[in-house]
């Protein structure tokens, strides 16, 4: 690896704030190609806002060649190594679901603060999380259109990933149901903690936000004019987080969980 995509300060920002913005993670021309394909999939007319009748349209299952290329650039892979650790993550083979957000007066109905669940225990339903972040190494936000403050950028509670471990620790590897966890954190004033600053995931087509799996975030209504195209796939790990390594070789993701538990940020 030559010059790493993230500076040492950016890696530390990820540990303490829970996310880092990676500009030009994949080519803008590739973003344009994928977005044109997605417009066709919506069945809507990009030049006729009268056809945009819903606040959000979800398009599922995009693993074809242009999407695969967007998800597997060297720049992204090098950043994964910096945050998750070499050999500790599984390459993406596509980008999954796209929630396409349109300018619309109606509330989209999915704009509450939350984390993303990562697994479903056998015999249970819904999505769950656990302290070792089973089946999720990162939350990622892939921008396939230019996103400014008016075009429904994802909202981020800066540093909120540090609040989550204390709620997950008592549940051990079994973890907690996502909705139950959110209710508990909300009752404790930690789901939308007032002292946690707000950030917006704005940027250019081709940018990616790499986020800690415990980061609290939310959608919002679209008050702009340009539809927003974004993918939010997980990066899968090769195994669960290790929070007590004898050699101290903690990843940035693991150091953040340890910081949230009051165990320090040993490197």
In a domain? residue 1 = no
- Domain assignment present for 232: yes
Residue 177: DSSP 8-state = E
Reply yes or no on whether the pLDDT at 206 is more than 60.
yes
- The neighbour count for residue 153, using CB atoms within 10 Å, is 24
Q: What is the DSSP letter of 239?
A: S
134 within some domain = yes
d(CA 194, CA 191): 9
* pTM (2 d.p.): 0.97
Q: What is the largest CA-CA distance in the chain?
A: 60
Report d(CA 45, CA 210) in Å as an integer. Answer: 31
Query: Per-residue pLDDT tens for 31-82?
Result: 999 999 999 999 999 999 999 999 999 999 788 899 999 999 999 999 999 9
Give me the pLDDT at residue 74, please.
98
Task: State whether residue 100 is helix, strand or coil.
Answer: strand
Does the structure show a pLDDT above 80 at 240? yes
* 95 is a domain residue: yes
Other Cβ atoms less than 10 A from the Cβ of 156: the count is: 24
Displacement of CA 228 from its chain's centroid (Å): 16
Q: What is the pLDDT of residues 172-198, one digit of tens each?
A: 999 999 999 999 999 999 999 999 999
Q: What is the CATH number of the domain that holds 74?
A: 2.60.120.620
Q: Quickly state the pLDDT bin for 1 (edges 50, 70, 90).
A: low
Domain count, the chain: 1
Percent of the chain with pLDDT over 90: 93
* pLDDT above 60: residue 221: yes
- Give domain status of residue 235, yes or no: yes
Q: Which domain holds residue 25?
A: 8-260
Whole-number Å distance between alpha carbons of 168 and 96: 27
Does residue 3 lie in a domain region? no
Q: How many CB atoms lie within 10 A of CB 46?
A: 14
Q: What angle do CA 192, 195, 199 make, to 5 degrees?
A: 70
265 pLDDT tier (thresholds 50, 70, 90): low
């Amino acid at each position: 690896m030559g010059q790493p995509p993230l500076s040492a300060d950016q890696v530390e920002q990820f540990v303490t704030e829970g996310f880092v913005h990676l500009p030009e993670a994949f080519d803008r021309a590739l973003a344009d190609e994928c977005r044109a394909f997605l417009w066709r999939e919506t069945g809507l007319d990009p030049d006729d806002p009268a056809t945009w009748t819903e606040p959000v349209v979800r398009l599922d299952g995009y693993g074809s060649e242009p999407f695969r290329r967007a998800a597997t650039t060297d720049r992204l892979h090098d950043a994964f190594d910096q945050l998750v650790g070499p050999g500790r993550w599984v390459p993406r083979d596509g980008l999954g679901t796209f929630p396409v957000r349109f300018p619309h007066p109606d509330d989209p109905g999915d704009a509450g603060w939350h984390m993303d669940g990562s697994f479903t225990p056998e015999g249970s339903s819904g999505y769950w999380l656990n302290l070792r972040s089973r089946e999720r190494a990162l939350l990622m936000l892939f921008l396939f259109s230019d996103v400014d403050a008016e075009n429904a950028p994802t909202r981020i509670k800066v540093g909120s990933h540090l609040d989550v471990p204390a709620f997950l620790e008592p549940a051990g590897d079994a973890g907690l149901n996502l909705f139950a966890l959110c209710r508990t954190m909300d009752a404790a004033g930690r789901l939308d903690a007032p002292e946690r600053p707000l950030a917006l995931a704005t940027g250019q087509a081709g940018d990616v936000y790499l986020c800690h799996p415990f980061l609290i975030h939310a959608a919002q209504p679209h008050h702009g004019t340009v539809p927003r195209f974004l993918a939010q796939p997980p990066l899968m790990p090769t195994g669960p987080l290790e929070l007590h390594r004898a050699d101290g070789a903690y990843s940035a993701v693991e150091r953040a969980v340890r910081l949230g538990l009051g165990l320090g940020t040993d490197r």
